[in-house]
Amino acid sequence: MAAAAEAGTEARRRPPIGRLHLLAVICGLVLLGGFNFALLKVTYTAYGDRRAFFVNQAINLLYIFYGGIILYPRMLLTNCVTKEMRVFPKKHFLVMGTLDSLGTFLTCLGATYTPGSLTPLLNQLLIPFTMIVSAIGLRLKSRWQEKLGAGLIACGACLSVIPGLLSAANSSALGGIVFEARWYAIVFYTLSNVPMAMSSCYKEATFEQRHLDVWYLTQWVSVFQFLVSFLYMPLLVLPGFGSRDGMPFQEVPVAFADGWKCYMEEVPECAERKAFLLLTGYCGVNLCFNTLGLYLTKHGSAILNALSYSILLPFTTVLFFTPLMGRYQEPLNQGSVFTFLGLILALVGFAIYQWFAQNVGEAEAPQRHH
């Protein structure tokens, strides 16, 4: 019994890391996270709603490329991916890839015309949605304090989007750049949390008693996510999906090809906006952000990771109102009051949830590619 306890203690022991090193990692995570979410919004805005589906698929494909650069040398030179991992049923990867593909598809539909300052708040809705899915699918019960925290997060997110939902086309300008918020885009972006929550719960149920290399898992899920996403192309003909009024089906592949031309900066406006650098750079920053989050969980704790994300929320929200965003800086107006009130409410809810969340020390870093 003593030997078992000692082994358990050894298994939970984390690799040593200095406090200064730990502080640097936390600061890096906050900075990378802020620029990660800022780049996501800027990239979709630069490409426009007609090219949004191309951006979604380009991100999926680039993630496969970046992940492959890391995974395949590890598979060849180390034993990190065992034989048992390789024979793991691929149907589970298909389910996760399908759910993730639906989440990122809804994100691409909403990102262009959802104000960037709202996206960090709306991303926090993943917590209450995950609690709901866990209660229904996994039969997990939550403490009333957790429910209170999740409820405050939801109220904060709802409060922040009031100006965008009250007007069909709420727009403002700063420095010659017009910022337009569309209610249906905000709804799409909000709903993207539902399949993401389902995917998170499916992963929890599937891998509770199994261990897979994180890069091996990510690579397979990314491949299925990329392939399944093409099935959503016919939906782009519907109003609000490919554009405000939709587009004829014959224009769908044309818009996709135009996205490639924009990526290669063959279109003057895309070259001016540095479309190639934005899209490629976002994927690199996103990969580093998620990797650093896993590193902090491994060498620090999930609680420190949660603390980093609590700092990241106001940092990213405020970032969109600063000159650091350049031509994409959002103007402060009367609607911004709702954003900051929602931010305060969401932060209080986030703090309550993280304080009372069960098994918070064992949780993995939340990941959202885009």
Highest mean pLDDT of the ranges 92-101, 112-121, 318-327: 92-101
Q: pLDDT value at position 188?
A: 93
Q: pLDDT value at position 21?
A: 78
Q: pLDDT value at position 334?
A: 76
Tell me how crowded residue 331 is: count the other CB atoms within 10 A of its CB.
13
pLDDT: which is higher, 277 or 120: 277
Q: CA angle 296-129-237, nearest 5°?
A: 105
Over range 159-183, report the average pLDDT.
Answer: 60
What global pTM score does this model have? 0.81
Domain range annotation of the chain:
19-362
Q: Which residues of 44-72 are buried (b: 16+ CB within 10 A; e: fewer)?
A: bbbbbbbbbbbbbbbbbbbbbebbeeebe
What percent of the chain has a predicted confidence (pLDDT) above 90?
A: 38
Give the tens place of pLDDT for each residue, 229-240: 999 999 998 887
Q: pLDDT value at position 291?
A: 84
Q: pLDDT value at position 109?
A: 93
Give the tens place of pLDDT for each residue, 100-143: 999 999 999 999 888 888 888 888 888 888 888 888 877 777 78
CA–CA distance, 329 with 320 (Å, rounded to integer): 6
